Amino acid sequence: FGQMPDFAAINAIAARHGLPVIEDAAQSFGATQEGRRSCAASLIGSTSFFPAKPFGCFGDGGALFTNDDALAEKMSMVRNHGCKVRHDHPMIGLNGRFDTLQAAILLAKFPYFEEEVAARHRLGQRYHQLLDGVCATPATLEGNTHVYAQYTIRLKERDALQAWAQREGVPMAIYYPKCVHEQPIYQPYVSPGQTFPVSEKASKEVISLPMHPFLTEEEQTKVASVVRAFVERD
């Protein structure tokens, strides 16, 4: 939730099989790997500007990035009903146009983005300190920076923690309670009896703490003290 996976490894596997790599950078926008920005690590980078994301607008939005000019032109056409020039449609497309008002909001926010990334980093480090020895906190891969789109901890009794925190007035969210392979639409691709134990365990233990660049130290201290009180109850 805020850092890039190992793209050297992913791109190498894809190259061996002649596959294009599309990065889903909805949660990692603003993060880097070996100095390379998220969205610039493979053939296509994609991100979301949904309000809860690191670079959020006030409604729905997103963007695709590529260094391939021909592909960029094709993607622009898909975005706009397959249209190349007005009233000329060489391909089938859809309406994926980014709303002008949302674009204006992002343009106004953009000059502050690096500051917000720095604030997220600072707050992430502070959560690490406050929760040291209390619960499992997010690790950062070597060579990566982390934007903590979510600050997600792991705890066996996370449902009980969520209820406890709610009583204390601290909102905590569960992303995601169901794994991809547990979604009805993917059932035809899951063999009978097939399990994904690592994902399934994580989906039962993860819980995300309040995290945004404007979180105050007092708020953060309160959140951490609620987690600590829960873990140390009895």
Nearer to ligand PLP, 27 or 144 (CB): 27
- Segment contacting ligand PLP by CB under 6 A, of 19-27, 99-107, 109-117, 134-142: 19-27
The answer to whether the beta carbons of residues 173 and 83 sit under 8 Å apart is no
| Touching ligand PLP, residues 118-177 (CB under 6 A) | none
CB of 63 to ligand PLP, least distance (A): 10
CA angle 204–194–28, rounded 5-degree value:
50
CB of 162 to ligand PLP, least distance (A): 19
Nearer to ligand PLP, 27 or 66 (CB): 27
Q: According to CB under 6 A, which one of 10, 22, 37, 50 is a site residue for ligand PLP?
A: 50
Q: Tokens 């094709």 identify what position? A: 74
Residue 98 binds ligand PLP, judged by CB under 6 A: no
Residue 48 binds ligand PLP, judged by CB under 6 A: yes
Per-residue buried b or exposed e for 81-91, using 16+ beta carbons within 10 Å of the residue's own CB? eebeeeeeeee
C-alpha dihedral over 65, 71, 74, 78, to 10 degrees? Answer: -40
Nearer to ligand PLP, 43 or 231 (CB): 43
Nearer to ligand PLP, 149 or 215 (CB): 149
- # residues contacting ligand PLP (CB under 6 A): 7
CA atoms of 154 and 174, how far apart (whole Å) = 11
Residue 38 binds ligand PLP, judged by CB under 6 A: no
Quote the longest CA-to-CA distance of the chain: 70
- In angstroms, the Cα distances linking 224 to 54, 118, 121, 233 are 21, 20, 17, 14
Residues that bind ligand PLP (CB under 6 A): 24, 26-27, 48, 50, 60, 62
